[in-house]
Structure 1
Amino acid sequence: MVPQILFEDKDIIVVVKPRGVSSQSSSGFEEDMVSLLKKHLGKDAYIGVIHRLDKPVYGIMVYGKNKKSTELLSNELRQKNIEKSYAALVEGLPLKNHGELRDYIKKYDNNTSKVVDKNTIGAKEAVLNYEVIDSFQIEDMCITRLKINLVTGRHHQIRLQCASHGFPLLGDHKYNKRLSNKKFEYDKVLALAAINLSFIHPKTNKRLNYKIDADF
C-alpha cells in the first residue's frame, strides 16, 4: 500500500491516510503510516508524527522529515495555528445550521472517551464548530452532511461530541448506539474524513492549504 502524496520536500510530507491504518507506529504486525512512509523514504528515514487521525478515519496528514520541522509544526499545533476541517455524515439534524459544541472529555484506558463534568479529574475541554451542508433520507432516517472545524484535538472528539449532542456518525461502531440493533449500507465505514489541512511551512513560513473530497 502506497499512500497518496499531496506534497513533499526535504522538510515535510503531506499525505492522505487510508482508513484502517494507524497514524503512528503500532506494536502489532499491521502496517501503519510511519512504516508506509519509510517504504517510500527509506527504512532509516526520520518520520515525525505531529497530529493523529483515528484508525477508521481517512484524510490529510502532515509529517515532519527532520526533528526541527517536527518540533516547529508540533508547536504550531499546540498554539492552534494548524487548521483542520472534516466532512461527516450524521444521523438526525442539528437544531442550528451552524454552531459550536463545547464539552469536557475524559479518555479512559479501554480506548474510549466520555463527556464528563468539567471538574472531573483528567477532563479536558473539547471545542468544535460545525456547519450543515445538506441532508437526505435513508429509509426513515434523516442523514445530515456536516463540515466540522476542530478547535481542540481530543481523543475521539468529533465522534463523541456529535453522539452526545444527539447526532451520532454513521458507521461509528464505538459511539453510535443504534448500530447494536440495526445497520445500514453506510455503516460499513465510519463516515468521517479529514478533508482540509492548512498550516505554515516550518522553513519557508508560507501558508499551505490542502483539500480532498470525502468519498461519502
Structure 2
Amino acid sequence: MNLKILYEDKDVIVTVKPRGISSQSSNSFEEDMVSLLKKHMGKDAYVGVIHRLDKPVYGIMVYGKNKKATEILSNELRKKNIEKTYEALVDGLPESDEGELTDFIKKLDNNVSKVVEKSTTGAKEAVLKYKVLESYKKDDRYITRLRINLITGRHHQIRLQCASHGFPLYGDHKYNKRLANVKTDEDKVLSLAAVNLSFKHPKTGMELNYKINADF
C-alpha cells in the first residue's frame, strides 16, 4: 500500500491514514501506520505516535521522526494546541445549525464507550463543537454533513456523542442502532474523516496546516 504523504522533513511526517489501518503498531499480522511509514522511511526509522484515529476512520495524521519532535508535539496535543477538524455524515438533524456537545464518557472493557454521570468512576469530560454543512431529506429521515472540532480527545468520542444526542454516524455499527435492522448505501463505510490538521512545527515553530476532502 502506498501512503499519501502531505509533508515530510527531518522532524515530522504528515500523512493520510486509510480506512481499515491501525494508527499505531498492532499485535496482528495486518499492516499498520507505523509499519507502512517504516517501509517508506526505512525499517530502522523512528516513528513517534502523537495522536490516533480509530481503525475505520480516514484522515490526516502527523508522526514524529525523532524523540524530541515527538515529545514536543505530544505536549502540544496535551495543551490542546493541535487543532483537528473532522467531517461526518450523520443520520438525523441536530436541533441547531451549530453548537457544542459536552458529556462525560467512560471507556468499557469491550472496546466501546458510554455516556455516564459526571460522578461515575473513570468518567472523563468530552467536548466537541459542530456545524451543519448541509442537510437533505431522503425517504423518511435526514442525512446531514457536519464539521466537527474536537476540544477533547476521548475514546470513540465523536461517534458516541453524536449517537447519544440523536444523530449517529452512517456506517457506525457500534453506536448507530438503526443498522441492526436496516442499512443504506451510506452505511457501507464509517462516514467520519479527519479533514484538517493544524500545528506548530516542533523545531521551527512555523504554523503548518493541511487539508483534504472527505471521501464520502
Q: TM-score range by the shorter chain?
A: over 0.9
SS at match of 2:129: strand
Other-structure match for 1:123? 123
- The one-letter code matched in structure 2 to 1:54 is D
Displacement of 1:92 in angstroms is 1.0
Other-structure match for 2:163? 163
SS at match of 1:77: helix
Partner Cα separation in structure 2 for residue 192 and residue 81 of structure 1 = 22
Residue segments in structure 2 that go unaligned for 5+ positions in a row: none
Q: Percent identity?
A: 75
Partner Cα separation in structure 1 for residue 27 and residue 155 of structure 2 = 19
Displacement of 1:143 in angstroms is 0.5
Other-structure match for 1:200? 200
TM-score w.r.t. the length of structure 2 is 0.99
SS at match of 1:76: helix
Other-structure match for 1:103? 103
Other-structure match for 2:7? 7
Displacement of 1:140 in angstroms is 2.0
- The one-letter code matched in structure 2 to 1:84 is K
Displacement of 1:2 in angstroms is 1.4
Other-structure match for 1:212? 212
Q: Deviations over 1:116-150 (max 9, x none)?
A: 00111110000000000110133322101100000
SS at match of 1:68: helix
Other-structure match for 1:37? 37
Displacement of 1:215 in angstroms is 1.3
Partner Cα separation in structure 2 for residue 200 and residue 114 of structure 1 = 33
Partner Cα separation in structure 1 for residue 159 and residue 84 of structure 2 = 15
Other-structure match for 1:63? 63
Other-structure match for 2:50? 50
SS at match of 2:70: helix
How many residues are aligned here? 216
Q: Deviations over 1:143-167 (max 9, x none)?
A: 0110000000000000000000000
Other-structure match for 1:112? 112
- The one-letter code matched in structure 2 to 1:130 is Y
Other-structure match for 1:150? 150
Partner Cα separation in structure 2 for residue 48 and residue 7 of structure 1 = 15
TM-score w.r.t. the length of structure 1 is 0.99
Q: Deviations over 1:90-114 (max 9, x none)?
A: 1111001000000000001100000
Q: Deviations over 1:6-43 (max 9, x none)?
A: 00000000000000000000000000000000000011
Residue segments in structure 1 that go unaligned for 5+ positions in a row: none
| Alignment RMSD (CA, Å) | 0.5
